[in-house]
Every structure is written in C-alpha cells, then in structure tokens.
Amino acid sequence: MSLIISVLSGIPIRVYNIRAGRGKPGLMDQHLKGVELVGKICNAKIKGAQLGSTEIIFFPGRIKGGYYDAQIKTAGSISLLLQVSIPCLLFADGESKLKLQGGTNAEMAPQIEYVTEVFRPIMEKFGATFDFQLNKRGYFPRGGGEVEVSIKPVSKLRPVQMLEQGQVTRLYGWSFVAGAVPLGIAHGMADAAESDLKRYGINVNVERYKESPDMAEGNCSGILIVAETNTGNIFGGSALGKRDEKPQVTGSKAAMEIIKTVSEGACVDDHGQDQIIILMALADGVSRIKVGSLTMHTKTAIYIAEKLTKAKFKTTINDSCTIIECYAHQPQLSWENTKYNINKEPQWSGNYLYQNMQHRSHSRQSCWNERITYSSEIQDNRHDMEIDDAPSSSSSYMEPSSKRMKKSDDMQHTVIETLKIFQQHILKNQEEVDEDERFGKTVAKLLTEFPSGYKPTIKTTVIKYLSDQLQQYYSVRT
C-alpha cells in the first residue's frame, strides 16, 4: 500500500524492517516482483530491490499506461500483484494491460476468484473496474498460473456509503480439485459448506468440478462461496484443502467465514477490509463502510494511509461491528504539477524557494525535499522527518535575526541556481550514495560549483540549508 501512495503522490519513500518478525525476513519472490512491477509502471528508481532485502528506497516517476508483465517463479500470489498494481494503473495516462504469472490459489493470500467475484464488484462501487482473463491456474509449489488483466484509467474515485448489510438474497460458490486430487474431495467440501449454511437458514448451491489438465498446473483443492444482499453488498468465504485435513473441515471453514460476516452485520468480509482502505483514501469525499472487528492488516493500512496522505480515518465500534469513516480529497497526482515529479526539472518559484529556505520547511512543493520513511511493522512505525504544508507565496515569515539576509533578485537567483545544482546532483548520484556515507563530500562538491560573485554570508547560509537537506535526504544518523 505504501508503494501505491508513493507512486500516486510522487513522494519517494524508504521502507525498512520488511517482514522483520517472520521466520524468513525480507522480500520473498512475490514481494520483490510486486516492487519491480510497480517500479516499471512508474519508471521508478529503486534501491535494495533484491530477495531477502529488509529495506528498500523507492523513487517514483510518472505512471504510464501500457503493457506490463511479471513472473513469480514460485506459487507466489498473483492476487497480491493485482492488489498493488491496479490502483496505480487506474490513474495512468492511458489504458493498460497486465500479464501476470505465478500462483492463482495460494495460502495466505486471496484466491483469484475472490479478486474477480468479490473485490471487483466492491471496486466498481468506487467507480473503477478491470477486465480479467484466466489463462491457466497455478498451485503450490510450482505456480505456473497465468492471467491477463485490462485496466482503463479513471479521472477520480467516488466515495461510498456501505452501512446496511441487508438480507442475503443469493449464495453460490465453487468447489474444485485439480491434478491427482479425486473429485470426491470437491464433493466433501461442498456438502459440508452447504450443510453448515443451511443450519443457519441460508440456502446455497456449490458447483463441484475438476480442473482440466490444460487449465491447471499441479495438485490442489479449494472452495469459494459468495454472498449477495438486497442492499448491493457482496462478501465471500474461502479455504484451500490440505493433505492432513478432511475436506469437510475445509468446506466448513469457508462456510464459517460467510456466517461470521452475516452475524456481525458487516458489509465487507475480513479479507476485503484492508483492501478497501486505499480506495477510501483515494476517493474524493467521505466514505463510510461497516465491517466486523478490525484486522491487524486493516489497522496497519489505516495507519499508513493517514501518514502518507491527507485522508483522515475514524473508527467507531458498535457491538460486533465497526464503522470505518474516511474523510479524503482527490489527491493531486505526481505529474499534474511538475514540482512533484522527480524525473522532471521543477518549475522553480524564486519567492517560494526563498521562503522555504527561511523556514527550513519540508515542502510538499519540492519532491526532492520530501522524504517519508516508516517501519513496515505497525509497532515500530515512525517518521525520520515530518512533512509540513508549504507556505503560500503570500504568507508572512520572520527572517532569522542571526542571519539577516536582504531579499533581493540576486538572493533569489542565487538560491534558485544552487538548488538546481543540488537537485541535479541527487538525480545523478541517488543510486550511488552509500547510506552510511556522510553528506560532507556532497556539500563540498556543491561549494565548488556554487555561483561565484556573491557575499560569503549568502553562500554560507545556502550551503547550510543544503547540508540540512542532504542529512535528512539520506537519513544519516549523526
């Protein structure tokens, strides 16, 4: 989610402690392919994008529509690639097509049917959608699945109100097996799910089938159930079969997810909670959605959205459900103003830069002056620097008494020219600078390139400012 916001806002970010609490910390293949895919979409420059890396630094560029592909060599989830790429491509400059390879039905990730049958209808409420084609299924451990997705851009997302669950009017699903798994397993899962749901007064018809060898890579079994209500809500329940688990247990797991959502009065199931947060944060207006108990993924998503966007969230617990409210405005995309775009030279404003230097403010108007970093673990989230709104050109300011500087054309010209040098140096060397290296060498280089003929006090003050910026830019601990 942090990469999505980085791409859409044009704000470079540093993500650290990636999967720090896991048995195998750092980027796995599916996470790495997600980072690389988003990097291609916006022509980003990335530092630390490698297997096992616990930290990346991401410099986004402009989102371009077009054709993109990604291949996970294992059964890593294709659904996770879709989660990170689709929101970005919704705001591209043209239509896009994705060709993704990997796992279609994997543990610890939404099954591909959930993405198309549950999440896509929810996205359509926000005013966006995508076309989907399943070419082949891929299962643990080899993957090998393939999907193609087409996305048309939108001008904005609209807010939604999903507060009334209503009555379940339709309940359907699929129970499948593939490879060497016998069809009887599919019947066992479906029978158990139907029995559990009928016990709660909900009738369901689950289709049972075996995937053809041409459509499936490997052995697998699973079940997905979808519920629709008379208020237009849709939610799901799913489970994958395991060797040491009876099919009846697997089927009951999927049914209990539906029963849990219905009993809580929620409009979105637990799997969709965290996925809607980014849509709410990007929508233009106030959204309100009723969910069950907040998951840790949802709490983390809200935390990140509030830190990296201007969206404000409020959660209200009411019995067994939670109301999530989001107050957001359509974000300004990174290419709508060249001052946001790290890959283009900003249209500098002398008066603005002069005030910005005086205040030492970390302006949203200068993309290279914004460096937001945070921990990927919610318990250790923190910013290396704070971001304040930039002062307007008409705002008043006090000149520091210790450095009285005459506001003149010469001064503005000096600042502008020096900041241009500073920006060019960063763009040229941002991939080469060692994070542990002191910023002194860079400042020394700027000193030699500083325009001649200006007062030493002006030169010293500007270099001090650049020094401060470099220290914050590289997150150097002094």
Q: For residue 58, what are the contacts with CB-CB under 8 A and spacing of at least 6?
A: 3, 6, 12, 13, 14, 15, 35, 39, 44, 46
Name the nearest CA neighbour of 143 among 221, 74, 243: 74
SS3 8: helix
Amino acid residing at 234: I
Sign of the Cα pseudo-torsion (16, 21, 24, 27, in order): negative
Amino acid residing at 94: G
Name the nearest CA neighbour of 11 among 58, 65, 55: 58
Answer yes or no: are the C-beta atoms of 372 and 387 closer than 8 Å. yes
CA distances from 44 to 37, 41, 57, 431, 465 (A): 10, 8, 10, 12, 27
Omega prior to 141 cis, within 30 of 0: yes
Answer yes or no: are the C-beta atoms of 60 and 6 closer than 8 Å. yes
- For every residue of 387-434, DSSP letters joined together read --PPPPTT------GGG-----HHHHHHHHHHHHHHHHHHHHHTTTS-
Q: Which two tokens stand for residue 192?
A: 């158990």
Given 297, 329, 359, 425, which residue is catalytic? Answer: 297
Q: What angle do CA 244, 247, 250 make, to 5 degrees?
A: 90
Name the nearest CA neighbour of 238 among 256, 263, 220: 256
DSSP summary character for residue 222: E
297 is a catalytic site residue: yes
d(CA 247, CA 243): 9
d(CA 56, CA 242): 35
The residues assigned a catalytic role are 297
